Amino acid sequence: MVAAGPLLAQSAGILNRPENFICNYTGRSTSPQVVCNQATASNGHAERVVDRILRPIGLMRNFKVVECSNTDNCFATVLKGQRFIVYDAAFMQGIEEETETDWSAISIMAHEIGHHLQGHTIDGRGGQPQKEIEADKFSGFVLHQLGASLDESVVAVRALGNEHPTPTHPAKPARIDAIRKGWLEAEAMYPKNRLAGKPATAIAPRPVTNSGMTSPVVRPPVVAKAPAAPVRMAVGCVSGDCADGKGVFVYPTRERYVGEFEEGDKHGEGTEYYPDGKLKYRGNFRDNLRTDYGVYYYRNGDRYEGWFARNVPNGKGTYTFADGARFSGVFKNGQPVSRE
């Protein structure tokens, strides 16, 4: 992400001045033998990364980006009224190589910018765990806006966070949770994950016609009518973890999914609702499609219960018509092919 340029000055550097206040990402102490390079040309790439982070929130860069070797860290600091983002190029390159993604370095930069934007470097209260939580949440929000997944947004703190809290930094789980909250807050406001780009149902199974079927009408079992689910006004992930966990996702069509997610897809057990809140499907999903066993409720009052593949009935199942007639057999691509 950032390449080290030729050192133009070897001195105590801005980090050693007593009036300087520093918020750093890892919480580790800094070597007193730091070497800073304030040449603008050598910081061009890092400045572009800062601009990329600020663009989604509509701000212009007013930070001076400085490379300081031997710090093994990234810092936000203020010196004589000038805001600085200070980074060790070797440290940033190392975390990218360790995590195998440049999102790690970008999230660190976003975290430090968060310190500046929230006034942490000028309030005179020193380093505090709550400041780190706020900067982590900001990082999660921004990385969502830049296109990072939730996993990509937390990769840096997973690698560098402390397992136990310190006087200035919370423990790793608390920091991960803060990033997650920021990412999900952005997702609720500006849904951009993979679910948002897909229709609520890739293929709606076509109702089966009852013409030509000779099976007698069978009294259907008494099934309690599914209560209407409340229609939420928000769009996107409105609660829970819609990346890797259990959550509630509302589509622009107003359809709603409640259930398990994996890498942003419906995956596991879940329930779909029509825009008016009526039950649509309850069962299993894989990679965003209805898969394995489930029950689908058609708008016309029909119901299919059985096996699914590629989002439609495939395999053994029972189709119950609104008038009570029933077909049990084998389905292929949503249509019956043989009776049991």
> What is the reported pLDDT for 21?
52
According to DSSP, the residues that pair with 268 across neighbouring strands are 285
Q: Which residue, chain included where needed, has tokens 């996702």?
A: 249
Rounded-to-integer distance, Cα 62 and Cα 75, Å: 15
Q: Which residues contact 223 (CB under 8 A, 6 or more apart)?
A: 303
Residue 294 has pLDDT above 80, yes or no: yes
Q: What is the pLDDT of residues 225-245, one digit of tens each?
A: 444 444 444 778 888 888 889
Rounded-to-integer distance, Cα 335 and Cα 340, Å: 14
Mean pLDDT over 99-115 rounds to 90
Query: What is the average pLDDT value for the chain, to the nearest integer?
Result: 78
Rounded-to-integer distance, Cα 33 and Cα 41, Å: 23
> What is the reported pLDDT for 37?
54
**Confidence at 317, pLDDT banded by 50, 70, 90:** very high
Mean pLDDT over 286-299 rounds to 93
**Confidence at 41, pLDDT banded by 50, 70, 90:** very low
The DSSP bridge pattern shows strands 82-87 and 236-240 to be unpaired
Q: Which residue, chain included where needed, has tokens 């936000």?
A: 76
> Which has the higher per-residue pLDDT, 106 or 45?
106
> What is the reported pLDDT for 218?
45
> What is the reported pLDDT for 204?
66
Residue 5 has pLDDT above 70, yes or no: no
Mean pLDDT over 172-181 rounds to 94
The structure tokens listed for 118 are 């929230």
Mean pLDDT over 191-205 rounds to 53
In the chain, which residue ranges form alpha helices assigned H by DSSP? 44-54, 89-99, 103-117, 129-146, 150-160, 172-189
pTM above 0.75, yes or no: no
Task: Using alpha carbons, list the distances in angstroms from residue 8 to 36, 68, 87.
Answer: 8, 11, 16
Mean pLDDT over 159-165 rounds to 90
